[in-house]
């Protein structure tokens, strides 16, 4: 399980909709294992396949950041079916280093996807897990936290990146 480099914005893979996964083969399993190693080393509480250069619809979430090994979620082709409530909180992202944005997210969601065994999974999530799942699913749609920031804040960040200050 090699640790992969985290792709940094504005890399194009982070700006496009990822492809549906049609078959869960050994390549998909290997990508998932590499993503798990990468997320925990980073360290992070979530990771989407585009963040490791794979434009496929797969995400990981572990709101405990590996403190509870039974909490790791791997979802293929996840879809949010229901959203309730609203909360604004600061988010950061491994693909947008040294940047934070206040983002409004649903507080309670219902998500369906497929696990690595090809079994359909339904998850009802709230709080941090709901936020993490929404953040990672955004990545699958080509959305990063900079897209939630004001144009001025985004412009300042991108100028700093270009000058190598971030």
pLDDT at 95: 97
Mean local confidence (pLDDT), 119-133: 98
**Mean pLDDT, all residues of the chain:** 95
**pLDDT tens digits along 29-81:** 999 999 999 999 999 999 999 999 999 999 999 998 887 768 999 999 999 99
In a domain? residue 158: yes
Question: 1 in a domain, yes or no?
Answer: no
Q: Which helix H or strand E contains 134, and what residues bound it?
A: helix 127-140
| Domain membership of residue 105 as a residue range | 12-162
Write the CATH number for 103.
3.90.45.10
pLDDT score of 1 more than 90: no
What is the reported pLDDT for 72? 96
Question: What is the average pLDDT across 153-158?
Answer: 92
63: annotated active-site residue: no
The residue annotated as part of the active site, out of 63, 82, 126, 136, is: 136
| pTM for the full predicted model | 0.95
Please state, in angstroms and rounded to a whole number, the distance separating the CA atoms of residues 142 and 153: 19
Task: Specify if 5 maps to a domain.
Answer: no
Domain count, the chain: 1
Counting residues of the chain whose pLDDT is more than 90, the rounded percentage is: 90
Residue 5 · residue 28 · CB < 8 Å = no
146 found inside a domain: yes
Mean per-residue pLDDT, 81-102: 96
| Best CA proximity match to 148, nearest among 104, 95, 117, 113 | 104
């Amino acid at each position: 399980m090699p640790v992969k480099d985290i792709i940094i914005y504005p890399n194009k893979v982070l700006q496009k909709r990822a492809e549906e996964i049609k078959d869960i083969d050994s390549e998909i399993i290997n990508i998932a294992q590499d993503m798990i190693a990468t997320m925990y080393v980073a360290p992070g509480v979530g990771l989407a396949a585009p963040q490791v250069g794979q434009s496929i619809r797969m995400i990981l979430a572990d709101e405990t950041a590996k403190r509870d090994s039974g909490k790791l979620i791997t979802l293929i082709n996840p879809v949010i079916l229901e959203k309730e409530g609203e909360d604004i909180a600061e988010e950061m992202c491994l693909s947008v280093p040294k940047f934070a944005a206040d983002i409004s997210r649903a507080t309670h969601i219902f998500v369906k996807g497929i696990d690595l065994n090809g079994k359909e999974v339904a998850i009802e999530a709230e709080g941090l897990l709901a936020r993490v799942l929404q953040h990672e699913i955004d990545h699958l749609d080509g959305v990063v936290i900079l897209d939630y920031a004001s144009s001025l804040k985004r412009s300042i960040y991108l100028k700093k990146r270009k000058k190598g200050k971030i």
